């Protein structure tokens, strides 16, 4: 809990911007997609309104996974609002990037950087905002149904950032990271982040590591990473 408290206290600056203000800042991320500044003091940037970028990512309720739709209905929730509440919680992922940097973890690959950010997000929600857990899980479940031509971790690295060229494929990857995070978190909780720090501290000099090397290191602190990565490679792609 110490780690979560520390993160909560250090990352509380949020700027809520409309489309005009967003454009004036020359932000690379399109309006509607939460982001965070790269250097301290970290400022999280949130859109004041839902945008076309978000609206285009919501599948119609009639075209979505029927089992998932039933889960939302059983919870007494509205399909679109559940999605957008989960989408808004992406800001927790952005704070997670900042938290990992300040905590001292130096992720050697893009996919693990994204994995860590969502890990911080999930941990924070579990401990501080459990009411957000259902919409966030629903959001990731919807993402698992997105089109995904690329599936392996090597694909993710070589085509990064997929968020620009193929946002749906990028969303699919984020959902795959979340699935593995749920498994790891169930076993180790926030303790995994401490172990990750020992593996990849800021002081390390071997920034250029292969996927195989990173996976081998992670396997040593939490078995299952190699099997998970191979399952991604065998996932059929879609157009």
pLDDT value, residue 205:
64
Please tell me the predicted confidence (pLDDT) of residue 109: 95
In a domain, 178, yes or no: yes
Segments forming the whole domain that contains residue 184: 55-233
In a domain, 193, yes or no: yes
The pLDDT of residue 220: 97
- Give domain status of residue 134, yes or no: yes
- Residue 25 pLDDT: 85
Please state the domain count of the chain: 1
Q: What is the mean pLDDT of each run of 10 residues along the chain (239 residues)?
A: 40 79 83 81 82 74 91 93 86 88 91 96 91 93 91 94 83 96 97 96 76 97 97 81
The answer to whether residue 39 is domain-embedded is no
Q: Is residue 46 in a domain? A: no
Residue 140 in any domain: the answer is yes
16: in domain: no
pLDDT on residue 238: 66
Q: Identify which of 236, 205, 211, 209 has the alpha carbon closest to the alpha carbon of residue 226.
A: 211
């Amino acid at each position: 809990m110490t780690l979560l408290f520390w993160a909560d206290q250090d990352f509380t600056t949020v700027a809520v911007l409309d489309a005009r203000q967003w454009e004036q800042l020359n932000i690379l991320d399109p309006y509607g997609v939460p982001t965070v500044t790269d250097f301290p003091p970290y400022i999280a940037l949130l859109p004041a309104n839902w945008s076309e970028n978000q609206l285009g990512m919501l599948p119609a309720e009639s075209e979505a996974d029927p089992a998932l739709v039933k889960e939302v209905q059983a919870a007494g929730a509205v399909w679109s609002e559940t999605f957008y509440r989960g989408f808004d919680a992406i800001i927790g992922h952005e704070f997670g990037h900042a938290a990992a940097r300040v905590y001292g973890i130096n992720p050697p690959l893009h996919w693990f950087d994204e994995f860590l950010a969502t890990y911080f997000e999930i941990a924070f929600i579990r401990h501080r905002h459990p009411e957000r857990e259902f919409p966030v899980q629903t959001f990731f479940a919807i993402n698992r149904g997105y089109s995904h031509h690329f599936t392996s971790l090597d694909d993710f690295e070589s085509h990064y950032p997929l968020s620009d060229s193929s946002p749906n494929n990028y969303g699919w990857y984020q959902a795959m990271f979340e699935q593995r995070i749920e498994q790891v978190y169930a076993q180790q909780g926030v303790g995994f982040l401490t172990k990750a720090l020992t593996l990849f501290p800021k002081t390390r000099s071997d920034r250029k590591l292969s996927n195989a090397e990173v996976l081998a290191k992670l396997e040593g602190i939490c078995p299952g990473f190699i099997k998970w990565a191979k399952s991604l490679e065998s996932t059929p792609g879609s157009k």
